[in-house]
Amino acid sequence: MQHHAYVIAAGKEEGIRSALAHAEAMLGIEAKGNPDVVILEYGLLTVEDARGVSERASGAPLRGAHKVIVIAALRAYHEAQNALLKLFEEPPPGTFLYLVLPSLGGLLPTLRSRVQELTQQAAASSQSAAPGEAFLKGGTEKRAAVVKKLTSGKDEDARRLMRDEAIALANSIEAALAERGVEKHAHALAELATLRDYLYDRSAPVKQILEHLAVALPKI
């Protein structure tokens, strides 16, 4: 049975790459330059955004028989997820939907029941670990730049989004280290797991956690 709605737990870039790779393989289409492949990126997915997604999905494919819509967000309000329920349950004929989020912890059960989860194993391992691998390969200055980028939020919403990005980075670093040997990097993986748990605490200092990771993690 061919599913029509999928969810991917990943950072925006790797999640979008995974969605497009899956759509190309499943539907036999070329994503690049295809007007029927729509990529929508958001920070906080609002009700208004969700309604806009539904409007974009309502049009018929311009070329061929299929239309692909990738919705990548750092966070989706529950109201926005509710607004997507009808679309994900019964999209227009020939339309395939991909929802990309850093984590599925905030996904409503009603929406989760309408999608099939695509794991990062479905994509190339180099794609799933790309941000983490870049962080591990980077020197002091590059790691410091990443930390600065993820801790420069000027208001509560921005800081919440950056915390989600930091969690996605930690997941990607874990994938990159595990690929190079769980036993070899057991200490780093254990420390990473502990600090990532702290990131889920909204009161924990993201900057201090990331600065510690930047110093403590090995360079590969």
Q: What is the pLDDT of residue 129?
A: 44
Q: What is the pLDDT of residue 124?
A: 44
Burial 37-75 (b: 16+ CB within 10 A, else e): bbbbebbbbbeebbeebbeebeeebeeeebbbbbbbbbb
- Does residue 190 have a pLDDT over 80? yes
Euclidean distance between CA atoms 31 and 69, whole angstroms: 11
Type of residue numbered 188: A
Three-state SS for 66?
coil
Euclidean distance between CA atoms 83 and 77, whole angstroms: 10
2: pLDDT confidence band, cut at 50, 70 and 90? low
* Average pLDDT of the residues in 118-135: 61
Type of residue numbered 177: L
120: pLDDT confidence band, cut at 50, 70 and 90? low
76: pLDDT confidence band, cut at 50, 70 and 90? very high
Q: If we measure between CA atoms, which residue out of 107, 61, 70, 105 comes closest to residue 85?
A: 107
Euclidean distance between CA atoms 32 and 159, whole angstroms: 33
Q: What is the pLDDT of residue 127?
A: 46
Tokens of 86: 């009808």
- Does residue 8 have a pLDDT over 80? yes
Q: What is the pLDDT of residue 168?
A: 80
122 CB neighbour count, 10 Å cutoff: 16
Q: What is the pLDDT of residue 130?
A: 66
Tokens of 74: 């750092």
* Average pLDDT of the residues in 77-86: 95
161: pLDDT confidence band, cut at 50, 70 and 90? confident
What pLDDT digit, counting tens, does each position of 16-50 carry? 999 998 988 888 888 989 999 999 999 999 999 99
174 vs 57, residue with greater confidence: 57
DSSP 65: S
67: pLDDT confidence band, cut at 50, 70 and 90? very high
Cα dihedral: 201, 74, 170, 111 (round 10):
80
Q: If we measure between CA atoms, which residue out of 140, 165, 128 comes closest to residue 44?
A: 165
Tokens of 56: 């974009």
H or E element at residue 116? strand 116-118
87: pLDDT confidence band, cut at 50, 70 and 90? very high
Cα dihedral: 112, 195, 15, 137 (round 10):
-170
Percent of the chain with pLDDT strictly greater than 90: 49
Residue partners of 145: CB distance under 8 A and separation at least 6: none
Q: What is the pLDDT of residue 200?
A: 81
Type of residue numbered 209: I
